[in-house]
Structure 1
Amino acid sequence: MAKKLLIIARVGLVVIGAGIMVDCAVLMAVGKINFGTVVPFLLGSIFVTHGIFWHAIRKFTRQNLFRNRIWYALWLLFFIWLISFGLFIFSLQQQIKRSAQPIPEVAAIIVLGSGTVAGKPTPTLTQRLDTAAPLIKSQPEALTLTSGGIGMGQTRSEASIMATYLHETHGIAFKHILQEGKSTSTAENLIYSQVILAAQGVSITAPIAIVTSDFHTIRAAAIAKHQGYQQPILLASPTPLSIRYNAWFREYFAFISGWLFGEY
């Protein structure tokens, strides 16, 4: 029985690790090289290595008392990390529930970018725009701002592509959409948007809706509050099922990265 469980565990490590590595490799190939992709990629490679070379690794660690203790200490740290990941997912679910509440009247609506391909929004960004559209139409007096710079291999800013999608798909006039086309991160999305809002007479102390993906709501809210947004109201768009759980996994590391780099 123990032998069968070990085989199952090793196969599980290889499958999970390989899935994480492929997911992160694809993102890094399109220029998304950051803490939230590199660290999970390394973790995935550790999973795969342990799954394939389990017996060789255990033989090596058992030859020395110190190495054996390090082995168990690392597994202890892994389980502590697993608990912290579970707590993050729980907190994320609570934030998503709060984001599903009706949106009160706001002074502005900021839609955060999430990548484009061949001049079109990615599925994740499409979900954000589709989620934002009803709010934009229901609150026409609120300023609408699309936020996102020029990505790798692109010739147009993400903000411009987002504005075009809102116009062509949802019939929202271009004149009602302000564009922030310089940012390359969530922190820049929100800090550069402040400049545009100030020019339009909107204070960041006012209620401001921030539209982003469900997995991104905790980090976006933390960054906004750190930057001085006093009443950020998060509106969460659903993440496509095909990438949902990988996105939640990567977001954990992105959240840690934001904390380490002082974004909140």
Structure 2
Amino acid sequence: MVILSLVNELLCALCWGITIRLILVRHLHSESRAILFNAFAFILMLINLIIILPAFAFLIMNMPAKTFSWLAALVVATLDALSTFNLILFCVYSHYTRMLKCPSTVHAFLVLGAAVRHGQVPPVLATRLDKVVTCWKKHQSAKIIVSGGKVQKEKISEADAMAAYLINQGIPTLKIIRETRARNTWQNLTFTSQLINPHASVVVVTSDFHVLRAKTYAKRLGLQWSFVGSKTPWQYCPLTFIRDYLGLIRDHRWLAGSIFILLLLLEFSLI
């Protein structure tokens, strides 16, 4: 039983560790490789959900209580269960953001940038732009701000690539404002807020998985903006969702750590 517990803990560490390693590979050179990495991450998380977590439950109920092996299994199982459960909640909320509606009055739409490839808009970013086109058609007096600078040694900025895409979709050039300095979400929001009236009604359009983190940053900056999520292509969902989920944990690591410790203390008090 002790060996089985150690094997299960190792498998748990491998599932999360390999997934995080896949997330850190930011410069994928082909769409097929990106899809392969996402499929692999999905399989790892599925193994964790249907095999590793039930195995932990079985081990904790059948191992001698209060032994070192039992306590180790309880700690790892608690961390794994908490992380997995919150990831599921994060996915549910992210899907909900697709249904959010724009307010009745919109002065500007802000599209948050993402890395472009050889000057071309990748599929995930394209869905954000398609979403803003749909929203803009109902609020054609509004401006569309595209935010994103040059990253990853690209020759043109994310904003320029997004503007070209929107123009091809029939958006008038005069309706597009380019913010070309931002290199991350915090800068997207900060630099854009300097371009517009602070009392303007702004709707931020970004990917569903990205809404919660962007919304958190906006709140920190004191920006009372609305948010709308675009649907992420299914083949890119696993890594993008897990990446932003882990980013939220990193940003709120003290809160996450406190919840984990309190949950452990509660479990120990019930032994």
Tell me the TM-score normalised to structure 1 length.
Answer: 0.70
Instruction: After superposing the two structures, state which structure 1 stretch, 83-92 or 130-139, moved more.
Output: 83-92
- Match of residue 192 from structure 2: 193
The answer to whether structure 1 residue 107 and structure 2 residue 101 are counterparts is: no
The one-letter code of the counterpart of 2:201 is P
Cα distance in 2, alignment partners of residues 217 and 194 from structure 1: 17
Cα distance in 2, alignment partners of residues 125 and 99 from structure 1: 15
Cα distance in 1, alignment partners of residues 27 and 74 from structure 2: 28
Tell me the CA shift for residue 93 of structure 1: 2.0
Q: How does 1:227-246 map to 2 (within 5 A)?
A: 227-230=221-224, 232-246=225-239
Give 3-state SS (helix, strand or coil) of 1:222's partner: helix
Cα distance in 2, alignment partners of residues 236 and 74 from structure 1: 38
CA contact (8 A) 1:146 1:162 kept: yes
Tell me the CA shift for residue 91 of structure 1: 4.5
- Match of residue 116 from structure 1: 116
Q: Deviations over 1:48-94 (max 9, x none)?
A: xxx9xxxxxxxxxxxxxxxx848944761452353144235315523
Instruction: After superposing the two structures, state which structure 1 stretch, 145-154 or 94-103, moved more.
Output: 94-103
- Match of residue 255 from structure 1: 248
Going from structure 1 to structure 2, the CA distance change for 1:175 and 1:18 (only over 3 Å counts) comes to same
Going from structure 1 to structure 2, the CA distance change for 1:79 and 1:260 (only over 3 Å counts) comes to closer
- Match of residue 181 from structure 1: 180
The one-letter code of the counterpart of 1:165 is Y
Cα distance in 2, alignment partners of residues 88 and 21 from structure 1: 14
Going from structure 1 to structure 2, the CA distance change for 1:95 and 1:106 (only over 3 Å counts) comes to farther
Cα distance in 2, alignment partners of residues 28 and 73 from structure 1: 37
Tell me the CA shift for residue 113 of structure 1: 0.6
CA contact (8 A) 1:85 1:252 kept: no
Cα distance in 2, alignment partners of residues 85 and 110 from structure 1: 32
Tell me the CA shift for residue 23 of structure 1: 2.6
Going from structure 1 to structure 2, the CA distance change for 1:71 and 1:178 (only over 3 Å counts) comes to farther
Tell me the CA shift for residue 106 of structure 1: 1.4
* Identical residues among aligned pairs (%): 26
Give 3-state SS (helix, strand or coil) of 2:26's partner: helix
Out of 207, 216, 223, the position equivalent to 2:217 is: 223
Cα distance in 2, alignment partners of residues 210 and 71 from structure 1: 48
Cα distance in 2, alignment partners of residues 233 and 211 from structure 1: 9
Q: Deviations over 1:187-227 (max 9, x none)?
A: 00000001111xxxx22x44311000101111111111111
The one-letter code of the counterpart of 1:20 is T
The one-letter code of the counterpart of 2:215 is A
- Match of residue 165 from structure 2: 165
The answer to whether structure 1 residue 210 and structure 2 residue 204 are counterparts is: yes
Going from structure 1 to structure 2, the CA distance change for 1:78 and 1:121 (only over 3 Å counts) comes to farther
- Match of residue 82 from structure 1: 81
Give 3-state SS (helix, strand or coil) of 1:225's partner: helix
The one-letter code of the counterpart of 2:176 is I
Cα distance in 2, alignment partners of residues 248 and 156 from structure 1: 27
- Match of residue 138 from structure 2: 138
Give 3-state SS (helix, strand or coil) of 2:114's partner: coil
Going from structure 1 to structure 2, the CA distance change for 1:78 and 1:252 (only over 3 Å counts) comes to farther
Give 3-state SS (helix, strand or coil) of 1:138's partner: coil
Cα distance in 2, alignment partners of residues 223 and 106 from structure 1: 21
CA contact (8 A) 1:148 1:180 kept: yes
Gaps of 5+ in 1: 31-40, 52-67
Q: Deviations over 1:100-158 (max 9, x none)?
A: 13312212100001110010111110111111111122212112100011011201110
